[in-house]
Structure 1
Amino acid sequence: MPSTRVETRAGWIGDRHDALIAAVQSALVEGIRIPEQDRDIRIIEYPAHAFAPPASKGPGYTIIEVSMFAGRSVEAKRRLYAALVREFAAFGVPAGDVKVVVHDVPRENWGLGGKSAADIELGFKVEV
């Protein structure tokens, strides 16, 4: 059950928010093998004066932060990184303009419905 935040400068997404959310979800399903219906994605667009990317980056520079249960393999994370870059390329964002930060969170540090995620049957495998 990852929680994903996509941060970028305003303007380049236009009216494609639904398509971008679908692209991120597709990458998560492919990369870390979550169920298709397991979705928690937010897009935050900043005005240019409030988002300062490195000078070498283009207008679509994007930071994607994925907080997820600890236990995914390095290979699963590699799949995720590659899938996100591929999906963003379809929006005209070059690979070098996509930064991904993964936060591995122990299940006991994640509360769902008033319970620790360590005490809940998730319905999917985390160790992929």
Structure 2
Amino acid sequence: MSQVKIYGVREHLLPIRDQLSEVIHSCVVDALQFPADKRAHRFFYLEKADFFVPATASERYVILEFMMMEGRTVETKKRLIHLLYERICTQLSLANTDLEICILESPAQNWGFRGMTGDEIKLSYKVNV
């Protein structure tokens, strides 16, 4: 299981929303071996006054927060991060200083979906990749 929260200034994030979602999803499919029809993205649009950015970033600054079940290897998570930088920065002309990524993991038993906990459910994909 993985969900993505995407934060950015509304006027800059909204116009790239669909393309950004496609690029993020392609990285998740490739790095985490997710099924193509499995996507859970949430966009959080902030006003400039509510989104303080680092001095090294522009107003196009975006934060990606991945919430995942534990189980992926360090190499898999690094592959995801590197693919995100490569594809997002290239395909959306976003500077690498305008993108920050955080992966947050929790045990499968802490997840609930389809009426079960994550350690009880049979998934159509592997978590331990």
Secondary structure of 2:15 counterpart: coil
Superposed, which structure 2 residues align to 1:43-58 within 5 Å?
A: 43-58=43-58
| Amino acid aligned to 1:65 | E
Q: Matches of 1:14 and 1:117 in 2, distance apart?
A: 32
In structure 2, distance between residues paired with 1:82 and 1:47: 28
Residue matched to 2:125: 124
CA RMSD of aligned residues (A): 1.2
Preserved CA contact (<8 Å) 1:2 1:66: yes
CA drift of 1:15 comes to 3.2
Q: Which residue of 1 aligns with 2:109?
A: 108
Gaps of 5+ in 1: none
3-state SS of the aligned residue for 1:102? Answer: strand
Residues 48 and 33 of structure 1: CA distance in aligned 2, closer, same or farther (over 3 Å):
same
Q: Give the CA deviation at 1:86.
A: 1.8
Counterpart contact for 2:56–2:97, Cα < 8 Å: no
Structure with the larger helix share:
2
Give me the TM-score of the superposition, normalised by structure 2.
Answer: 0.92
Query: 2-side partners of 1:69 and 1:41: how far apart?
Result: 16
> Normalising to structure 1: TM-score of the pair?
0.93
What is the DSSP-based 3-state SS (H/G/I as helix, E as strand, rest coil) of the residue aligned with 1:127?
A: coil
* Residues 30 and 79, structure 1, Cα contact 8 Å, conserved in 2: no
Deviation track 1:2-60 (CA, whole Å, cap 9, x = no partner) reads: 11001011222343322111111111112211111111001112110000011221121
Question: Is structure 2 residue 100 aligned with structure 1 residue 99?
Answer: yes
Q: Does 1:17 align with 2:36?
A: no
Using the alignment, how far apart are the partners of 2:93 and 2:51 within structure 1? 19
Query: Matches of 2:49 and 2:84 in 1, distance apart?
Result: 26
Query: Take 2:36 and 2:51, find their aligned partners in 1: how far apart are those partners?
Result: 31
Q: How many residues align?
A: 128
8 Å CA contact 1:32, 1:76 repeated in 2:
yes
Counterpart for residue 39 of structure 1: 39
Percent of aligned positions with the same letter in both sequences? 27
